[in-house]
């Protein structure tokens, strides 16, 4: 049976001028905020943690956020690894930990 065929959705694929429907609608005034996943200065790092430890850390992060310190899990891990490296360089661990806590407060506090 030959009748009227359905319109082919690919008919306008190679048209010289795009139609208004095919143009993506992007607001001119808003700019997309890039996260760590698309930032080339960050890499994904997977670790296995005991479940209870992860839950305890998540609870602590929520408590920090409730107190105005806006930090997420990856930021906390990065800060702790920097602290570890600093201590390994021979810096006094007690004073460095106090500095670390102060910097956490000032760096991640909501203004």
Please write the tens of the pLDDT for every residue from 9-64.
666 666 665 555 555 555 555 555 568 888 999 999 999 999 999 999 999 999 98
The residues near 54 (Cβ < 8 Å, ≥ 6 apart) are none
Nearest to 54 by CA among 25, 30, 74: 74
Could you state, in order of their start, the residue ranges of all structural domains in the chain? 43-108
Handedness of CA 70, 101, 77, 64 (dihedral sign): negative
Which CA distances in Å does 37 have to 59, 67, 79?
24, 27, 18
Does residue 109 have a pLDDT over 80?
no
Task: pLDDT band for 93, please (50, 70, 90 cuts).
Answer: confident
The C-alpha atoms of residue 68 and residue 91 are separated, in whole angstroms, by 29
- Kindly report whether the global pTM for this prediction surpasses the value 0.85: no
The C-alpha atoms of residue 104 and residue 67 are separated, in whole angstroms, by 12
Q: Can you say how many angstroms the Cα of residue 61 is from the centroid of all Cα atoms in its chain?
A: 15
The pLDDT of residue 69 = 85
109 vs 19, more confident: 109
12, 22 in Cβ contact below 8 A? yes
């Amino acid at each position: 049976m030959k009748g009227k065929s359905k319109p082919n959705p690919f008919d306008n694929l190679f048209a010289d001028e795009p139609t208004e429907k095919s143009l993506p609608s992007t607001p001119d005034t808003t700019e997309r905020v890039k996260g760590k996943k698309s930032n080339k200065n960050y890499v994904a790092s997977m670790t296995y943690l005991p479940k209870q430890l992860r839950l305890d850390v998540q609870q602590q992060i929520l408590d920090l956020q409730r107190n105005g310190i806006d930090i997420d899990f990856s930021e906390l891990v990065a800060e702790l690894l920097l602290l570890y490296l600093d201590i390994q360089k021979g810096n006094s661990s007690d004073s460095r930990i106090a500095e670390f806590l102060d910097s956490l407060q000032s760096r991640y506090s909501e203004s």
